[in-house]
Amino acid sequence: MRQPDQSTQVGTLAVEVQNVTKNYGTFTALKDINLGIKDNEFFTMLGPSGCGKTTLLRSIAGFESISKGDLLLYGENIADLPPNKRPVNTVFQQYALFPHMNVTSNVMFGLERLGHSATDAKRRAREVLAMVQLTQFADRLPSQLSGGQQQRVALARALAPNPKVLLLDEPLSALDLKLRQSVRVELQQLQHETGITFVFVTHDQEEALTMSDRIAVMSNGQVQQVGTPVEIYEHPVNRFVADFIGDTNIIDVTVTKTTGQSATCRLPDGSTLLCEANDGAAEGTGHISIRPERIRLCNPGTGQLDGRIKSRVYLGTDLNVHVTLKDGTDVKARIQNTDGIDIPNVGEPVDLRLEASGTRLLVD
Amino acid sequence: MAGPQLKSTDTDNSNYAGLGPWLLLPSWLVIGFFLVLPVGLMLIYSFLTKEFRGGVVWDFSPAAYDQFFFDRGLFGDSAPTIELTYISIFWRSIWQAAVATILCLLIGFPTAWFIATKTGSNRTIWLFLITIPYWVNLLIRTISMKFLIRDNGPLNELLLSIGLISEPIHMINTNFAVQLGLFYSYLPFMVLPIYASVERYNFALSEAAADLYATKWVTLTKIILPVVKPGVIAGCILVFVPSLGAFLAPDLLGGAKNFMIGSLIEEQFKGNAGNWPFGAAASMILLSMVLVILTIYARQQVKAGDR
Amino acid sequence: MAKHIDIRKFTGFRAIAVLCLFLLYAPLIVVSVYSFNDSISITTWGGFSLRWYEDVFFGPEAPKFKQAAINSLTIAIGAAVASTAIATAAATAMLRAGKFKGKSFSFMLINLPLMVPEIVTAVATLIFFSAIGFVSGYMTILVAHIVFCIPFAYLPIAARMQSIEPFYEQAALDLYATRFQAFRMILLPLMAPGILSGFLLAFIISLDDFIITNFVKGAGVETLPTAIFGAVKLGIKPNVMAISTLLLLVSVVFVTLSYLVGRMGENTEK
* Residue numbers in B near A66 (CB within 8 A): none
A215, β-bridge pairs: A44, A227
- Decide if C167 touches A, using CB distance below 8 A: yes
Q: Give B76's pLDDT tier (boundaries 50, 70, 90).
A: low
CB B201 within 8 A of CB B228: yes
C269 contacts A109? CB cut-off 8 A: no
Q: Where are the alpha helices (DSSP H) in chain A?
A: 53-61, 103-113, 118-131, 147-159, 177-194, 205-211, 229-234, 239-244
- pTM (predicted TM-score): 0.82
- Decide if B245 touches C, using CB distance below 8 A: yes
Which H or E run includes A38? strand A27-38
In a domain, B297, yes or no: no
- Decide if C170 touches A, using CB distance below 8 A: yes
In a domain, B21, yes or no: no
Subunits with at least 3 CB pairs below 8 A relative to chain A? Answer: B, C
Chain C window 234-263: which residues touch B at a Cβ cutoff of 8 Å? Answer: 236, 240-241, 244, 247-248, 251-252, 254-255, 259
| Overall number of domains in chain B | 1
* CATH code of the domain covering residue B236: 1.10.3720.10
In a domain, B71, yes or no: no
Chain B window 286-305: which residues touch C at a Cβ cutoff of 8 Å? Answer: 286-287, 290-291, 294
**Residue-wise pLDDT tens digits, B101-130:** 999 999 999 999 999 988 888 888 898 898
In a domain, B57, yes or no: no
How many C-beta atoms surround the C-beta of residue A127 within 10 A?
14
Calculate how close chain A gets to C178, using CA atoms only, in Å: 6
Which residues lie closer than 8 Å to B274 by C-beta, 6 or more apart? B50, B52, B53, B54, B268
> What single letter denotes the amino acid at residue B285?
I
In a domain, B36, yes or no: no
Q: How far apart are CA A279 and CA A262, in angstroms?
A: 9
Write the Ramachandran bin of B129: left for phi over 0, alpha for psi from -120 to 50, otherwise beta: alpha
Calculate how close chain C gets to B83, using CA atoms only, in Å: 23
* Residue A225: predicted pLDDT: 93
In a domain, B218, yes or no: yes
* Residue B1: predicted pLDDT: 31
SS3 of residue A68 by DSSP = strand
**Residue-wise pLDDT tens digits, A69-109:** 999 999 999 999 999 999 999 999 989 999 999 999 999 99
B147 contacts C90? CB cut-off 8 A: no
Q: Give C42's pLDDT tier (boundaries 50, 70, 90).
A: low
CB C32 within 8 A of CB C248: yes
The residue among B242 and B2 whose pLDDT is bigger is B242
- Decide if C212 touches B, using CB distance below 8 A: no
SS3 of residue C247 by DSSP = helix
In a domain, B48, yes or no: no
CB A344 within 8 A of CB A309: yes
Q: Measured between CB atoms, which of B4, B10, B11 is closest to A147?
A: B4
Q: How far apart are CA B184 and CA B171, in angstroms?
A: 15
Range of the domain at B222: 93-274
Q: Is the pLDDT of residue C36 over 70?
A: yes
- Decide if C191 touches A, using CB distance below 8 A: no
- Decide if A98 touches C, using CB distance below 8 A: yes
In a domain, B65, yes or no: no
* Residue A340: predicted pLDDT: 67
Which H or E run includes C238? helix C238-269
The alpha-carbon radius of gyration of chain B (Å, integer) is 25
**ipTM of this predicted structure:** 0.86
Over chain B, what is the mean pLDDT? 85
State the distance between the two ends of chain B, measured CA to CA, in whole angstroms: 36
If 0-12 CB within 10 Å is exposed, 13-18 middle and 19+ buried, where does residue A347 land? exposed
* Residue A4: predicted pLDDT: 45
Q: How far is CA C242 from the centre of its chain?
A: 21
Residue of C216, A205, C157, C170 lying closest to B17 (CA atoms): C170
- Share above pLDDT 90 across residues of chain A, in percent, rounded to a whole number: 49
Q: How far apart are CA C201 and CA C159, in angstroms?
A: 14
DSSP at B35: I
**Residue-wise pLDDT tens digits, B211-221:** 888 888 888 88
Q: Is the dihedral of CA C153, C156, C159, C161 positive or negative?
A: negative
If 0-12 CB within 10 Å is exposed, 13-18 middle and 19+ buried, where does residue A117 land? exposed
A174 contacts B4? CB cut-off 8 A: yes
> What single letter denotes the amino acid at residue C22?
F
Q: Measured between CB atoms, which of C177, C189, C269 is closest to A113?
A: C177
**Residue-wise pLDDT tens digits, A258-289:** 887 788 888 877 778 888 887 777 788 888 88
